[in-house]
Structure formats: structure tokens, C-alpha cells
Chains A and B, each alone.
Chain A
Amino acid sequence: MNEKHIQILSVFLTAFYAFFIVWLYWVEPKSLEEVPTKAQTTIENVTTKTQVAIGTYEVDRVKFDEGLQAFRQDNFIAARDNFEKADTEKRDAKTQFYIAYSFYRQGFGKLSNDDALFKKGLEQTNRVAALDRNFKSDDANLQLKTPVELKNEFEEGLQITAGDFNPFKVLRERK
């Protein structure tokens, strides 16, 4: 091996080892067993970012369908988890709308709404509007089809008005 080859090897080896160290300090694995898991997550993230950059990003259909199934069974926590896994980059308006809707349905109460969930839902709805202002859901099971309608529902739910003390409020239905 002549000096030139050693120098080339040195540059690549140094770059690789330095990259590995920077990566370790970035992902901060808690133990040696956690290193492969972190590596897999990093590879997945890099792949997704590359897909976004070159315009081939797509939602994971399997995860989305699992999320939709959980959503229809009123298992909103599992639904959100699957939707988030399906759209890791938060770029699909439809998936993000379902996440926002899950906050509404989970937080809805006949007597009072869950303010914490409604606040999260409101933020999520704003995200949907930012992604696609003209988004309209094609799901027949959803009564609120657009982000504007959903946003209005969240804002009304968070406000305390005289109507909140109306006893007939208990008769209202979840949309």
C-alpha cells in the first residue's frame, strides 16, 4: 500500500469515524443495546427526508388504514399513533385532519369538553389549514368536513358562554 492509498484511506476512515461520533452525540443512546434501534430510526428519517426532497414522499397506507380502523372504533390514542407513523413528516392534509378530528371526538363531552385535548386539536387544525386551505374530507362518517368547521367547533368548545349552562346541552350529539 503506497502513501497515496494510505492518505485516501485516512480521509475516508476519519470522516466515517467522526460522523459516527457526531451521530452518537446527536441521538444519545442510553445503552449499547439502544444503538441499533437508534440507527434504524435515523435511517428511516433520512429516507423520508430524501423522499420529501425529491418529491416522492407518500403516506404509509398500511399504517393509515390501521389508524382509520382504530379511529372508527373510537380508539383515538391508537388511531393518532398510527396516523403519526403513517405521516411522519406531517405533510398529508388528510392524515393530519383525522388526527385533529380524533382530538375532537376524544375531548367531546355532554357536560363539558376536555380543554387540553381541544387545545391540541385546535393547533392540529391550524396545521391542516396551513397544509391545504381548501381541504375537504370525503369521509361520509365525518359531519365536519373542513378544517374551518372543525376549528369553529374547537373554539366554541373552549369558550365559556351562557349556552354552556343550558341543561338541554346534554342532548347534543358528537359530530
Chain B
Amino acid sequence: MSKVQSPKSKVEEAVSEDLSFVDGELLETSTGEEVITETRTKGEKQISFPKPEDRSSKSKNQKSFLQYIVIPLIFLTAALLGGLRLSAEDMEFLFLKPPLVCLIFAVILLVLFFRANLIKLNGWFSEGFSTLKNVANACVLLTLFFASTQIFNSLLPEKGLPFWTIAFCFFWTLWNNLFAEFDTKRLVQSLGGMFGLAFVVKYLILANLTAPASKSWLQGILENPAQEAFTFLLDLPRFAPATGYIQFFALVFYLIGLFLLKPETEN
């Protein structure tokens, strides 16, 4: 009985025979793509691979783009949003400049970053680097400083007793961290916890204690007596609820920027 083969099985057999060994020379291509192309020229099989230098060059370009373009833009966006509030009455923009204490906190935070090796100073500035690279690195770290300042501006209550209480808590945490032995991961966890807690206190707890804007003082007392009392006692400013959303994204941008930041730049 003769064995009947389908056309498909014939093709599979032919292919398996073809692929049992590779008879051809490896050629380098200048496309830089990772796809292996197969060409037949006069019965010869030529398999071409991308140039290793091209692949590394492209990868390096992407890293440079991330480090020098994306990260500064993320930090500056966090800096832009950090001081932005919306007034409760007519949703007008209010740009709050950072108080001096925010600059001090940002400096301590940067020192912490250096101590915990989140940023290695000699990996960012070196005599071996070109001047342009040192300047570009300085720009990136400056944006980190601006963003840090504005994040403290965002998370600190604007005035009164809450301002001093939260500022003291920030100072206490940062000061303790300054002398503690810890690694990068713990620093980031500590910062994440500190910023998260401050956000909850300011934009959830204190914001809910603040009385909404009302037409008259008497109307406010009658409608929201407890909130009016807290607003008066704690000297809480009245902002639109959208402020919390804006500050949430400012904090998210800042944390993404920190996540993307490399301890040292590649030479």
C-alpha cells in the first residue's frame, strides 16, 4: 500500500531538511534592527544580524534621552504643579511661592540622596566628563532640587498651627535620617511613607476639616458649625477640591522622576 503524503507534509519535510544545518555566511547589516533577515542569492543562504555597536548606540541614545530630556521635564512639571492651588470661590489659579523652610528641606533631602547613594556625586560630576556633560548633569540635578522644594511646598499646610506641626515632623524625620545608616531602598521607602502620610493629612484630613466657601459668615456658621470652627482655629485656607488632584499628580510625577533617576551617569 503506497503511502500518500499531503502537500503540506511534503513542505514540512523539505523545510526540516533545509534547517538541519546552516550553510551560509553571517553578514553584518547596518539597519540596527534585531530581526534576522534571510536572503537567498544564487543558492547561498545569508543570515544577517544587526551591528552590536548600533544596538548599543541606540540603547545609549535612549538612555541619554531619558536622562537628559524626560527626567528634567518630569521634575519641572512636578515643580510647576507643586505650588499651584485653585481658589474655592471662583477656581482661580493661585501660585504659591515656596517658603524658606521648603528650600532647607530640599537641601537636606539632596544630602540624603547623596548619603544613601541614590545619587553618586562622582558619577554625575567628574573631571573626566566633558564640560557639556557636567553642565547637563547639573541641570538635571537642579530640576531635582526645584521639584523637591515644590513637593515640600505642596505637602506643607500653608499657614498656622498645621504648617508648623507638619514642618516639624518633616524636619524631625529628615534630621534623623541624616545620621542613620540605611540603603537606597530604605530611603525611598521612608520618603514614600513620609510624603504619602503628609499628603493624606493635608489633602484628606485637613481638607475635610475646612469649611466650604459660603456667601456669608453667618450662613457658614449655621450650615457647617464644626468645619467653620476648625477652619477658624487652625487657620485653614479654602481651596477647591481640584487642588488635591493636582497635588496628587505633582507627587506622582516626582516619585516617577526619582524612580527613573540613575545613581550615576554612563561615561
Contacts and interface: CB of A to CB of B under 8 A. Distances in A.
Contacts of A172: none
Nearest to B75: A14
B139 A10 contact: yes
Contacts of B73: 13, 17
B146 A18 contact: yes
Interface string A1-40: 1111011111101110110010011001111000000000
Interface residues of B, number: 27
B257 to A, nearest CB: 13
Contacts, number: 68
B260 interface: no
Nearest to B266: A3
Interface stretch (B76-84, B199-207, B229-237): B76-84
B56 interface: no
B166 to A, nearest CB: 22
A168 B79 CA distance: 68
Contacts of A30: 92-93
Contacts of A6: 61, 64-65, 68-69
Interface of A is mostly: helix
B97 interface: yes
B136 interface: yes
A62 B146 CA distance: 44
A25 B132 contact: no
Nearest to B134: A7
B93 A11 contact: no
B159 interface: no
A29 B86 CA distance: 12
Nearest to B65: A6
Given A2-B61, A25-B95, A9 B68 contact: yes
B143 interface: yes
A152 to B, nearest CB: 45
Interface in B81-129: 83, 92-95, 97
A4 B146 contact: no
Contact of B69 (A13, A18, A24, A25): A13
B96 to A, nearest CB: 8
B266 to A, nearest CB: 9
A25 B84 CA distance: 9
Nearest to B94: A28
Contacts of A15: 139
Contacts of B72: 10, 13-14, 17
A7 B132 contact: yes
A10 B83 contact: no
B51 interface: no
Contacts of B262: none
Contacts of A1: 61, 65
Contact of B93 (A8, A17, A28): A28
B82 to A, nearest CB: 10
Interface of A: 1-4, 6-11, 13-15, 17-18, 21, 24-25, 28-31
The 5 A-B residue pairs with the shortest CB-CB distance, nearest first, are A10-B68, A7-B136, A30-B92, A14-B139, A6-B64
Interface of B: 60-61, 64-65, 68-69, 72-73, 76, 79-80, 83, 92-95, 97, 130, 132-133, 135-136, 139-140, 142-143, 146
29 contacts: A1-B61, A2-B61, A3-B60, A3-B64, A6-B64, A6-B65, A7-B133, A7-B136, A8-B132, A9-B68, A10-B69, A10-B139, A10-B140, A11-B132, A11-B135, A14-B72, A14-B140, A14-B142, A17-B76, A18-B76, A18-B142, A18-B143, A21-B79, A24-B80, A24-B95, A25-B95, A28-B94, A29-B93, A31-B93
